Chains A and B, each alone.
Chain A
Amino acid sequence: MEWLLFVPLAMLALATAALVILLRNPIYCALALVGTFFALSGLYLLLQAEFVAVVQVIIYAGAIMVLFLFVIMLLDVGHEPPPWLRQDRPRLLLGLGLVALLVLELAVAFGSWIAPGIRGPYTSDYVNAVGNTQLIGRLLFTEFLIPFEITSIILLIAIVGAMVLARRQ
Chain B
Amino acid sequence: MPEPAFFVVMLAKIAVVFGLMLLSVAYLTWLERKIISDFQVRLGPMRVGPHGLLQPIADGIKLMFKEDIIPQAADRTIYVLAPTLALIPAFISFAVIPFGDRVRLFGQSIDMVISDVNIGLLYVFGVASLGVYGIVLGGWASNNKYALLGGLRSAAQMISYELSMGLSVVGVLMLSESLSLVRIVGAQSQTWFILLQPIGFLIFLICAIAETNRAPFDLPEAETELVAGFHVEYSSMKFAMYFMAEYANMITVAALATTLFLGGWRGPFLPPVVWFLAKLYLVIFLFIWIRATLPRFRYDQLMRFGWKVLLPLALANIVITAAFVALR
Where chain A touches its partner, the secondary structure class is helix
Q: Across the interface, which residues of A come within 8 angstroms of B75, CB to CB?
A: 27
The yes or no answer to B310 lying at the interface (CB within 8 A) is no
Beta-carbon contact of B122 and A51 below 8 Å: yes
Nearest Cβ in chain B — how far from A72, in angstroms?
9
With A and B bound together, what is the CA distance between A74 and B155 in angstroms?
13
Beta-carbon contact of B123 and A66 below 8 Å: no
Beta-carbon contact of B130 and A70 below 8 Å: no
Q: A113-155 toward B: CB 8 Å interface, digit per residue (1/0)?
A: 0000000000000000001110000000000000000000000
Nearest Cβ in chain B — how far from A68, in angstroms?
11
Beta-carbon contact of B122 and A70 below 8 Å: no
Residue from A27, A34, A58, A74 in contact with B126 in the complex, judged by beta carbons closer than 8 Å = A58
Beta-carbon contact of A73 and B136 below 8 Å: yes
Where chain B touches its partner, the secondary structure class is helix
Chain A interface size, under 10 / 10 to 19 / 20 to 34 / 35 or more: 20 to 34
Nearest Cβ in chain A — how far from B158, in angstroms?
9
The yes or no answer to A61 lying at the interface (CB within 8 A) is yes
With A and B bound together, what is the CA distance between A131 and B183 in angstroms?
13
Given A57-B126, A61-B130, A133-B179, A27 contacting B78 (CB threshold 8 A):
yes
Beta-carbon contact of B119 and A50 below 8 Å: yes
Q: Across the interface, which residues of B come within 8 angstroms of A74, CB to CB?
A: 152
The yes or no answer to A54 lying at the interface (CB within 8 A) is yes
With A and B bound together, what is the CA distance between A29 and B132 in angstroms?
18
Q: Across the interface, which residues of B come within 8 angstroms of A132, CB to CB?
A: 118-119
Residue from B118, B123, B129, B155 in contact with A70 in the complex, judged by beta carbons closer than 8 Å = B155
A-B contact number at CB 8 A: 57
Q: A63-79 toward B: CB 8 Å interface, digit per residue (1/0)?
A: 10010011001100000
Beta-carbon contact of B155 and A50 below 8 Å: no
Residue from B122, B136, B179 in contact with A69 in the complex, judged by beta carbons closer than 8 Å = B136
With A and B bound together, what is the CA distance between A58 and B179 in angstroms?
15
Task: List the B residue with the shortest CB-CB distance to A53.
Answer: B119
Q: B118-153 toward A: CB 8 Å interface, digit per residue (1/0)?
A: 110011011001101100110010000000100010
Beta-carbon contact of B152 and A54 below 8 Å: no
Task: List the A residue with the shortest CB-CB distance to B166.
Answer: A58
Given A58-B126, A66-B136, A73 contacting B118 (CB threshold 8 A):
no
Q: A28-57 toward B: CB 8 Å interface, digit per residue (1/0)?
A: 000100100000000000000011001101
Nearest Cβ in chain B — how far from A126, in angstroms?
15
With A and B bound together, what is the CA distance between A55 and B125 in angstroms?
10
The yes or no answer to B159 lying at the interface (CB within 8 A) is yes
With A and B bound together, what is the CA distance between A57 and B126 in angstroms?
6
With A and B bound together, what is the CA distance between A1 and B123 in angstroms?
24
Task: List the A residue with the shortest CB-CB distance to B141.
Answer: A27
The yes or no answer to B1 lying at the interface (CB within 8 A) is yes
**Contact sample, A vs B, 29 pairs, CB 8 Å cutoff:** A27-B75, A27-B78, A27-B140, A31-B78, A50-B117, A51-B119, A51-B122, A54-B119, A54-B122, A54-B123, A57-B126, A57-B130, A58-B122, A61-B129, A62-B130, A63-B129, A66-B129, A66-B132, A66-B133, A66-B136, A70-B155, A73-B136, A73-B140, A74-B152, A131-B118, A131-B178, A132-B118, A132-B119, A133-B122
List 10 additional contacts besides A51-B119, A131-B178; criterion CB under 8 Å: A27-B140, A50-B119, A57-B126, A57-B129, A58-B126, A58-B129, A66-B155, A70-B136, A70-B155, A73-B140
Residue positions of B touching A, CB distance < 8 A? 1, 75, 78, 117-119, 122-123, 125-126, 129-130, 132-133, 136-137, 140, 148, 152, 155, 159, 178-179
